[in-house]
Structure 1
Amino acid sequence: MLAYSGLGCLPVALLGALAAIWFRVIDARGGDWATACLAVVPIALVLGVVNLVAAESLNRAPDPDQAPGGDDTIWTSRHRAGGTPLQCFSPNFLAAAGLFYAGWTLQWVHWLVALAEYGALTAVYYAVPGFRRRPAKAVTVAERGNFARARGWAFRDRLPALAGRWKPGPLQRLSTTPAEVLNSPPQAGLRDHFAVMSGTHRGVRFTIADAFEPEPFAPFRAWQQHHVTVCAVHLDTAFPSIRVALRGRRRGRRARYALEVETLRPDFAEALVTEKTIEAMLAAEVMEWSIQGRDVLTVLRDQPADTEDGGTGGQPADYDLDAVRVIERLTSLIAGLPTDLAPWADRALSALPLEHGERGGLRSPSVRLP
């Protein structure tokens, strides 16, 4: 039922070998499973390193978005098992080592205590990255809160409800069979939305929010996350989800771009992505954007860990102002889109992330596709 590509079966074989070694040690020790558990803990860690080194050799590729001549590489999913890339099995080996360690303590403690030990180790693995990100989050919340209040815009320190609203990862069809469920690659998602600012700028309803996005196909997704900013303009009509991007670079006076379109509605893509749309993207300098329901959005990646970094002339960079400029570009973009999109329109709108237009007497106009 599991599908493999390339050497994606390697981690499965290594985990199987780990189980075989455990049983072999138990047999050699006359049934002493506790000692066997302790013996295979370092073996699990070594096999995890072997798997990661193999993935480093097999599942790395040059970054297609880097400048010519650059040496940056990214993780890929060429070699995978059940939709999971080779390197993403690395946490499984850590989990196995923790489980065997907890099993070793069973000779002295109740099994519920051993289970609690394993749960505590797992919680630490996921909690530590969150504590490490707190200083950067605090700086962003303070800076954006002041920025929003100075302009009379709504602001929230955190808004967990946004977790299911925006999906920066690839669009996927819903799995319908057990085999499809097992072999579907993990979908990227934004996590821990914070510093949410919403208001009206030049007649446009918008929301700007920061979040953390796992590095695509990274071995340790809980630890390898990037600070991103989502800039969204809200429409008064919902449309099928679509992502549009132009890949390429300008060299001198000439530029070559490759068009990427991703959607589950090719008929909508054919009507939306026209020569006029590409011209609007180039004019607005928006090289990648998406429609998700009533939101037209783009994701700003490579955000700084400290807002004091990245300035020019000795002055700190104003990333909040940069995000508002992106809202202006998105507004220019939707003004240049085709006007004959009514057949795909849906009036069943989701609520705004922050209902700023219905609080404190503020009434802000909606934005329509032309």
Structure 2
Amino acid sequence: MVAYSGLGCLPIALLGALVTIWFRIVDAGGGDWATACLAAVPIALVLGLVNFVAAVSLNRASAPDQLPGGDDTMWTSRHRTGGTPLQCFSPHFLAAAGLFGAGWTLQWVHWLVAVAEYGALTAVYYAVPDFRRRPAKAVAVAERGTFARARGWAFRDRLPALAGRWKPAPLQQLPTTPAEVLNSPPPAGLRDHFAVMSGTRGGVRFTIADAFEPEPFAPFRAWQQRHVTVCAVHLDTVFPSVRVALRGRGGRRARYTLEVETLRPDFAEALVTKETIEAMLAAETKEWSIQGRDVLTVLRDQPADTQDGGTGDQSADYDLDAVRAIERLTALIARLPTDLAPWANDAALPGLPLKD
């Protein structure tokens, strides 16, 4: 039922070996499960390291034109178990080590205390990266709040409801069978939306929000997240979801590869025309999507501290960059095909733009 790709079965084999070793130690020790749990902790960490080293060797690829910041490698999903790439099993080994460690303490404490210990370790794993991101969030909230109020635009420090509205992950059908559930890749999502600003520019309503996005196929998704800015303009009608991207480099002999993701190919065929591609190039918008009645693009080159990234004595103005992205989206949608009415509907999507 579970589909394998390449050596994606390696972590399953390693986790199976870990359980087998634990039972062997228990049997050799005459049923001393506490000692077996203690011995299993370093074994789980070593097997996790083996899995991670294998992933580094097998699931890394060069992609200099797809990652911000000049990185020339990225994680891939070539070797996977179901929809989970090899490297994404690394937290499973950490969880197993923590579970065995909590089990070892059962010889002295009540089992509820051991469960609480394991829960505390899990909470720390997710809470620490959030705590580390707070300074960057505070800077972004303060700067964008000042920027919005100076222009009379609505502003909110946080807006968690956006997590269910914008999806940066590739579009895919919801799994409906047990096999599809087991083999579906974990969806990527924007998290912890903050510094949300709404207004009107050039007669078009827009919303700009910051969030954190897990790096694609990252081993430790809670820790490996990047600061992004979502720039969205709001339409009067709802359209099917579609993502359009041009991959490649510009220059005198510019060559691009067109990527289109949608569950409605008929709509994509009507939307993505030669004129649309020319409008993307003219507006310098290489990737954008329609989600409901929002046309949006994601700026992924935001620094950890928004004071970084400027030139000389001038700090980079990322809020102004986001407004310019809104202007480019406005120019793009003005040149989209006008015969899209068959795919439009008036479904209500409340919440944006923000009200003063």
What TM-score do the two structures reach when normalised by structure 2? 0.98
Percent identity between the two aligned chains? 84
Task: Answer whether contact 1:191 1:212 (CA < 8 A) is retained.
Answer: yes
Task: Answer whether contact 1:294 1:349 (CA < 8 A) is retained.
Answer: no
Deviation at 1:72, TM superposition (A): 1.4
Task: Answer whether contact 1:293 1:349 (CA < 8 A) is retained.
Answer: no
Matches within 5 A, 1:268-279: 268-279=267-278
Paired with 2:30 and 2:211, the residues of 1 have a C-alpha distance of 53
Task: Answer whether contact 2:197 2:354 (CA < 8 A) is retained.
Answer: no
Task: Answer whether contact 2:246 2:259 (CA < 8 A) is retained.
Answer: yes
Paired with 1:233 and 1:10, the residues of 2 have a C-alpha distance of 45
Residues 92-120 of structure 1 deviation map (CA, whole Å, 9 limit, x = unaligned) = 00000000000000001000000000000
Paired with 1:112 and 1:192, the residues of 2 have a C-alpha distance of 31
- Counterpart position of 1:133: 133
Q: Which runs of 5+ in 1 are unaligned?
A: 360-370
Paired with 1:310 and 1:220, the residues of 2 have a C-alpha distance of 26
Paired with 2:113 and 2:66, the residues of 1 have a C-alpha distance of 50
Output the amino acid matched with 1:302: D
* Structure 1 position 172 matched with structure 2 position 180: no
Output the amino acid matched with 2:179: A
Deviation at 1:354, TM superposition (A): 4.1
Paired with 1:290 and 1:66, the residues of 2 have a C-alpha distance of 17
Matches within 5 A, 1:99-114: 99-114=99-114
- Counterpart position of 2:279: 280
- Counterpart position of 1:331: 330
Matches within 5 A, 1:59-74: 59-63=59-63, 65=65, 72-74=72-74
Task: Answer whether contact 1:229 1:303 (CA < 8 A) is retained.
Answer: yes
Task: Answer whether contact 2:64 2:72 (CA < 8 A) is retained.
Answer: no
Paired with 1:48 and 1:185, the residues of 2 have a C-alpha distance of 21
Paired with 2:185 and 2:127, the residues of 1 have a C-alpha distance of 24
Task: Answer whether contact 2:244 2:259 (CA < 8 A) is retained.
Answer: yes
Output the amino acid matched with 2:114: A
Paired with 2:77 and 2:240, the residues of 1 have a C-alpha distance of 27
Instruction: Point out 4+ residue stretches in structure 1 off by more than 6 angstroms.
Output: none
SS at match of 2:2: coil
Q: Which runs of 5+ in 2 are unaligned?
A: none
Paired with 1:66 and 1:342, the residues of 2 have a C-alpha distance of 34
- Counterpart position of 2:246: 246
Deviation at 1:52, TM superposition (A): 0.1
Task: Answer whether contact 2:65 2:249 (CA < 8 A) is retained.
Answer: no
Deviation at 1:71, TM superposition (A): 6.9
Task: Answer whether contact 1:244 1:260 (CA < 8 A) is retained.
Answer: yes
- Counterpart position of 2:77: 77
Task: Answer whether contact 1:193 1:211 (CA < 8 A) is retained.
Answer: yes
Paired with 1:159 and 1:354, the residues of 2 have a C-alpha distance of 12
Residues 271-290 of structure 1 deviation map (CA, whole Å, 9 limit, x = unaligned) = 00001101111111111000
Output the amino acid matched with 1:269: A
Deviation at 1:203, TM superposition (A): 1.2
Matches within 5 A, 1:283-322: 283-322=282-321
SS at match of 1:156: strand
Q: Which moved more, 1:334-343 or 1:303-312?
A: 303-312
Task: Answer whether contact 1:2 1:81 (CA < 8 A) is retained.
Answer: yes
- Counterpart position of 1:121: 121
What TM-score do the two structures reach when normalised by structure 1? 0.94
Paired with 1:281 and 1:55, the residues of 2 have a C-alpha distance of 36
Paired with 2:338 and 2:351, the residues of 1 have a C-alpha distance of 24
Task: Answer whether contact 1:218 1:224 (CA < 8 A) is retained.
Answer: yes
Task: Answer whether contact 1:162 1:353 (CA < 8 A) is retained.
Answer: no
Paired with 1:309 and 1:109, the residues of 2 have a C-alpha distance of 49
- Provide the aligned length of Structure 1 versus Structure 2: 354
Paired with 1:31 and 1:339, the residues of 2 have a C-alpha distance of 74
Paired with 1:122 and 1:321, the residues of 2 have a C-alpha distance of 39
Deviation at 1:310, TM superposition (A): 1.2
* Structure 1 position 9 matched with structure 2 position 9: yes
Task: Answer whether contact 1:236 1:349 (CA < 8 A) is retained.
Answer: no
Paired with 1:279 and 1:173, the residues of 2 have a C-alpha distance of 30
Residues 22-64 of structure 1 deviation map (CA, whole Å, 9 limit, x = unaligned) = 0011011110001110011000000000000000001011015
Task: Answer whether contact 1:231 1:299 (CA < 8 A) is retained.
Answer: yes
